[in-house]
Structure 1
Amino acid sequence: MADLNYHHLRYFHVVAHEGHLTRAAEKLNVSQSALSSQIRQLEDRLGQKLFDRRGRSLILTEAGRIALDHADSIFTTGRELLNTLKQTGMARRPLRVGAISTLSRNFQLSFLKPALGRKDVEIILRSGSSAELIPALTALQLDVVLTNQPPDADALSDFVVQAVDTQPVGLICTPDLCPKHHSIQELISTVPLILPAYSSVMRMHFDALCDRLDVTPQIAAEVEDMAMMRLLAREGAGLAVIPSIVVKDEIVSGRLIEAHVLPDILETFYAVTVRRKFPNPVLSLVC
């Protein structure tokens, strides 16, 4: 089997980062036709198409993104070799993770823990809305999206939705805010509440619980961001309806307490991926 031509790989590396054949040709000081020929030879050698052309731009295919990851590692290691002959370094495989910006940081940390500290893994963490992250996932710019509200899927969808954690939801507050021995009904009806936004599944289940208990909640705040709910609970602004994992450090320290676990209300956290011909092997560490 013939060895990989690293001259071709260098040309591919520049084109992939430029995203445009003309700019890459100018940077490499070669003609566009020569550069196109080099890329075709690399594609023939790998047996995979590396680019899709959209207008004047070149978009990496799935195989192209994998080739770029390896090319980045190869040329990074080459630079390290030139910098020092004593330490050649270790190439790190990137794991690109998107997390809904309102998601619990403690859950994110727990999910990433198996990959943290590894010398062969580089974690690239991006936060944003579902409208931002899901298209990035389908465009193969992310390997996985963490969310508590998975995208709609059907028989034609490429999404793979995996439930990776389920946490009970409780009534969380400062010790001085909750009268001792009060029932769930008494707390909900008399203590100001910090509730998740109407759009969340957790809020829907909480409202259903209030209907079953025939109580009217005293709402102090409605918040989308779990991190903000955590801060408000710490400030004594009300009784927060959140999973205990969000405030586990404060509960351990005694700064916050869980007055009650709410019956039949769970927060499920999901890892969303897409079916890929070449899945990122690092995903097996965390999923």
Structure 2
Amino acid sequence: MINRLNYHHLRYFREVAIEGHLGQAAARLNVAQSALSVQIRQLEDRLGVALFERIARKLVLTEEGRIVLDHADQIFKAGDELLATLQLSSTAKPVLRIGAISTLSRNFQLQFLRPLLGSDDYTFSLTSGQGQALFDELETLSLDVVLSTHIPENKGDKSYAAQLIAQQPVRVHGSSERLKHPTLAHLLAHEPLIVPTESVIRTGFENLVTRLGIQPNVVAHVDDMAMVRLLAREGVGLAIAPTVVLADEIQSGLLTTAPFDLGIFEPFYAITVPRRFPHPALMQLLTDQLSEDQL
């Protein structure tokens, strides 16, 4: 039989490490000091290292002891999260694990997270990555939700739920001097343009210029909305992007939005998978997003 780690010993070790004194830890645990000493010694024997050294009548962690304590903290934190997830504990703060497509607007992500900022009830983690990798993590329950501009395809036993939480109009943004054109067609044909390669916007843009019968002056094809924003700030060209991407620059007056309707909208989805125990904050968070009049 494999000699597995005794987590009872690990919990006793953690208390001694926190107290720094065997007697005080024993009193806190309501066990005899001698019994506690035996538990610590058994753990050291199991790991094959000394966890403490005595300095001035105080137990001080060795380097190995510090490593063990770090792992113990993670182990018992995970246990607290487990209890909270199963709604057996009201004191633990389960982490809401959010994935976001790497090209997604940072401003949109911040808006989505705003109800959680400064919350005493929950903490969150945010992971950026490629779509399929994030959806794979969603399937294994490593993530609670993925923010995306497209809905993944259901295949075989894969079943995704997609909630449309916002639909942002795509407009032309840039310096006011460059926006002084009589028509949208004239503007797109004569000004340098920064166009995202993201499929929804790109497809809409290609359809638009075909309908207008013009040859656009595209100077940058960019797959990252953060870079679209930076290039527009630098005056490289006019940005074809959702307003939320450049919200700060527009509000400050650095950039302006052209008074033309492109008829293009970028959807933002919250992708989830069916779970028996969804994160308690997620449904409220999605409800809050739907109640907002704008991003």
TM-score normalized with structure 1 length = 0.69
Task: Report Cα offsets for 1:224-282 as digits up to 9, x if no partner.
Answer: 00010001001110111001111111111110000134332001000001111211111
Secondary structure at the aligned position of 1:275 is classed as coil
Larger Rg: 2
Task: Report Cα offsets for 1:127-173 as digits up to 9, x if no partner.
Answer: 11113211111111000000112211268432111111110000011
Partner of 1:183: 183
Partner of 1:219: 218
Task: Report Cα offsets for 1:147-204 as digits up to 9, x if no partner.
Answer: 11221126843211111111000001122322x243110011000110011x511100
Q: Does 1:129 align with 2:141?
A: no
- Residues 127-276 of structure 1: pairs in structure 2 closer than 5 A: 127-153=128-154, 156-178=157-179, 180-197=180-197, 199-276=198-275
Q: Is the 8 A contact 1:177 1:236 kept in 2?
A: no
- Measured in 1, the distance between the counterparts of 2:83 and 2:122 equals 15
- Measured in 1, the distance between the counterparts of 2:231 and 2:241 equals 12
- Measured in 1, the distance between the counterparts of 2:94 and 2:45 equals 26
- Measured in 2, the distance between the counterparts of 1:131 and 1:101 equals 11
Q: Is the 8 A contact 1:169 1:261 kept in 2?
A: no
Q: Is the 8 A contact 2:93 2:122 kept in 1?
A: yes
Structure 1: 5+ residue stretches without partners: 1-5, 11-25, 31-64, 78-89
* CA distance 1:274–1:67, change in 2 (3 Å): farther
Partner of 2:115: 114
- Measured in 2, the distance between the counterparts of 1:104 and 1:274 equals 23
- Measured in 1, the distance between the counterparts of 2:44 and 2:235 equals 59
- Measured in 1, the distance between the counterparts of 2:187 and 2:174 equals 11
- Measured in 2, the distance between the counterparts of 1:231 and 1:221 equals 12
Amino acid at match of 1:264: G
- Measured in 2, the distance between the counterparts of 1:182 and 1:232 equals 24
Query: Aligned pairs, how many?
Result: 219
- Measured in 1, the distance between the counterparts of 2:98 and 2:129 equals 11
- List 4+ stretches of structure 1 deviating above 4 A: 6-10, 65-68
Amino acid at match of 1:211: T
Give 1:68 shift: 6.2
Task: Report Cα offsets for 1:68-96 as digits up to 9, x if no partner.
Answer: 623699xxx9xxxxxxxxxxxx5322100
Match of 1:70 among 39, 63, 82: 82
User: In percent, how many aligned pairs have the same letter?
Assistant: 44
TM-score normalized with structure 2 length = 0.67
Structure 2: 5+ residue stretches without partners: 1-6, 12-42, 48-76, 287-295
Secondary structure at the aligned position of 1:176 is classed as helix
- Measured in 2, the distance between the counterparts of 1:175 and 1:224 equals 25
CA-based RMSD: 3.1
- Measured in 2, the distance between the counterparts of 1:253 and 1:224 equals 25
Task: Report Cα offsets for 1:32-79 as digits up to 9, x if no partner.
Answer: xxxxxxxxxxxxxxxxxxxxxxxxxxxxxxxxx996623699xxx9xx
